[in-house]
Amino acid sequence: MADFTASKAKFNAGVDLTLTAAGDTQTVDLSDVGDERALLIVQNNNDSTATITIAAGDFLANALGDLSVDVAGGGAIKVIGPLEGARFLSTASKLTVGVAVTQSGTVSDVKLGVIKLP
């Protein structure tokens, strides 16, 4: 499981979004932003659907379970979030994101980016 770097937004300014090829599982460190201050951006360049799973974290609301979101193929882009810290963050303030591709396709053709909100 690898960490990937998020872009950090500023008030009244633009932010460059870095999309990174996904692996089966990756984490994002959100320790420098408050709860509910991150958006996950997903681009699926496969011909088939990709399923993005945000794993339940270590806090009380984890009883609500994981969040799974399908992203259509063909270059479709979906924004997920803001995400509840009480449900999804680990005690290390990390978000765990899983990626699976249905039928033919590869996980690395799914690109992920995170924008940390101010």
Find the domain containing 92 and state its range: 2-10+21-116
The β-bridge partners of 38 are 116
Residue 27 domain-assigned (yes or no): yes
**Pair 90, 57: CB distance under 8 Å:** yes
What CATH number should be reported for the domain holding residue 72?
2.60.120
Q: Does an H or E element contain 86, and which?
A: helix 85-88
Name the pTM for this structure: 0.93
Q: What's the token pair of residue 55?
A: 């794993």
For the stretch 54-91, pLDDT in tens is: 999 999 999 999 999 999 999 999 999 999 999 999 99
Domain for residue 66, yes or no? yes
